[in-house]
């Protein structure tokens, strides 16, 4: 009796996932976290209108979701001043990244990203046999010009850039990213991941024509709208590119209740503004706690703060382990020199207070 015959590509890949979830860590510890501040979830939660819409949709969950996400795309188009033909809805940005890589990348195709940037993108590239080329951060910022130059050097088909950035929380002016497009080689597509753009200062979103064939932008309801568990993301781009998604996407991948919740969340902009204000206040408090403990916090345009622990990655990992042992879930960047930091999500006052109580002990243990 034999098992399945895997492709050589599948056999060559490690049996790993980009992130170990907090639930897995809780199972290993045999207890739940007191504060869940590691996954950049919006702990303030979704609009009550979104919750009500999802609850109402639960009675219709026997039906598949609309494979065109028609109502949500119409509402997004009105909100953004574009056409529905410029929008595709998918299972979070992660799902859309997977579709896009499937659409454009075959074995041996070159792809460019920053060293230490969002690892799920790299995971998709590896899964379709792409060859990943990486450039270093510059001063804790992704380097748009270096990314474009590397793309020209290796003949890349895709370039990935997050603005604001994960894991550092830094950002570029949109005008600077638009200017860097002049360096993008012909036939290369820039993926501009704007998952955190609602938290960012005005002018962070690049003013790029929606039908510019060089760019696809990705946004989500997971962050500012507080719906990470619902998995609703959307991509914005030239109509021809968006249409191409229909060739390979899962047409029934969207949860019906999630579609209803996202539509209601989009229509409650007052709640979104209030949430962004709470996130800003939490970021300030996390930065204050860092300074109080002799550390420094990087300026952030996201719903998390990267805290510089002042030494190397091994020391930061010891601090992180000390926090986890004390019931506070946080994460850290994977690559030096960014891995001198820990990353703490903006949370409710009680969550941030738990972090404030655990940090001095974790630091003392790491230093001892």
What is the secondary structure of 273-288 as a DSSP string?
A: HHHHHHHHHHHHHHHH
Residue 297 bridge partners (DSSP): 307
> Tokens at residue 54, please?
């999802």
Instruction: Give the Cβ contact number of residue 93 at 10 Å.
Output: 27
Neighbour-count burial for 107-117, b at 16+ CB within 10 Å, e otherwise: eebbbbbbebb
pLDDT (tens place) for every residue of the chain, 368 residues total? 888 999 999 999 988 878 889 999 999 999 999 999 999 999 999 999 999 999 999 999 999 999 999 999 999 999 999 999 999 999 999 999 999 999 999 999 999 999 999 999 999 999 999 999 999 999 999 999 999 999 999 999 999 999 999 999 999 999 999 999 999 999 999 999 999 999 999 999 999 999 999 999 999 999 999 999 999 999 999 999 999 999 999 999 999 999 999 999 999 999 999 999 999 999 999 999 999 999 999 999 999 999 999 999 999 999 999 999 999 999 999 999 999 999 999 999 999 999 999 999 999 999 99
> Tokens at residue 363, please?
């630091």
Decide: helix, strand or coil at residue 357: helix
Determine how β-strand 110-114 pairs with β-strand 131-135: parallel
CB of 304 closer than 8 Å to CB of 344: yes
For residues 143 and 134, what is the distance between their CA atoms, to the nearest angstrom? Answer: 11
CB of 90 closer than 8 Å to CB of 65: no
For residues 198 and 222, what is the distance between their CA atoms, to the nearest angstrom? Answer: 11
> Tokens at residue 79, please?
């909100």
CATH 3.90.1150.10 maps onto the chain at 20-42+270-367
What's the DSSP call for residue 73?
H
Closest CA to 162 of 90, 81, 225, 223: 223
CATH 3.40.640.10 maps onto the chain at 48-267
What class has domain 48-267? alpha beta
Fold of 20-42+270-367: 3.90.1150
Q: What is the pTM of this model?
A: 0.96
């Amino acid at each position: 009796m034999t098992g399945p015959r895997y492709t050589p590509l599948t056999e060559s890949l490690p049996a790993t996932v980009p992130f170990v979830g907090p639930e897995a860590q809780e199972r290993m510890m045999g207890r739940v976290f007191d504060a869940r501040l590691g996954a950049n979830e919006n702990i303030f939660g979704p609009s009550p209108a979104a919750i009500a819409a999802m609850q109402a949709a639960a009675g219709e969950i026997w039906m598949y979701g609309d494979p065109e996400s028609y109502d949500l795309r119409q509402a997004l188009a009105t909100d953004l001043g574009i056409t529905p033909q410029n929008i595709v809805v998918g299972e979070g940005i992660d799902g859309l990244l997977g579709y896009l890589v499937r659409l454009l990348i075959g074995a041996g195709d070159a792809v460019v990203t920053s060293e230490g940037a969002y690892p799920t993108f790299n995971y998709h590239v590896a899964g379709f046999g792409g060859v990943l080329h990486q450039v270093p951060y510059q001063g804790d910022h992704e380097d748009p010009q270096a990314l474009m130059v590397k793309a020209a050097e290796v003949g890349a088909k895709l370039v990935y850039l997050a603005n604001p950035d994960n894991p550092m929380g830094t950002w570029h002016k949109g005008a600077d990213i638009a200017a860097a497009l002049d360096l993008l080689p012909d036939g290369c597509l820039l993926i501009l991941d704007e998952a955190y753009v609602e938290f960012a200062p005005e002018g962070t979103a690049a003013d790029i024509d929606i039908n510019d064939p060089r760019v696809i932008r990705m946004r989500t309801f997971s962050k500012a709208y507080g719906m990470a568990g619902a998995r609703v993301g959307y991509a914005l781009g030239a109509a021809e590119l968006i249409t191409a998604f229909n060739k390979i996407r899962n047409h029934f991948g969207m949860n019906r209740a999630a579609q209803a919740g996202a539509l209601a969340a989009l229509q409650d902009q007052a709640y979104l503004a209030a949430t962004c204000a709470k996130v800003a206040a939490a970021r300030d408090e996390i930065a204050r706690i860092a300074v109080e403990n002799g550390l420094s916090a990087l300026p952030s345009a996201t719903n998390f703060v990267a805290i510089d622990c002042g030494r190397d990655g091994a020391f930061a990992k010891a601090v992180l382990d000390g926090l986890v042992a004390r019931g506070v879930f946080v994460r850290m960047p994977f690559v030096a020199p960014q891995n001198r930091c820990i990353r703490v999500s903006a949370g409710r006052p009680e969550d941030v207070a738990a972090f404030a109580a655990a940090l001095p002990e974790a630091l003392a243990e790491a230093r001892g």
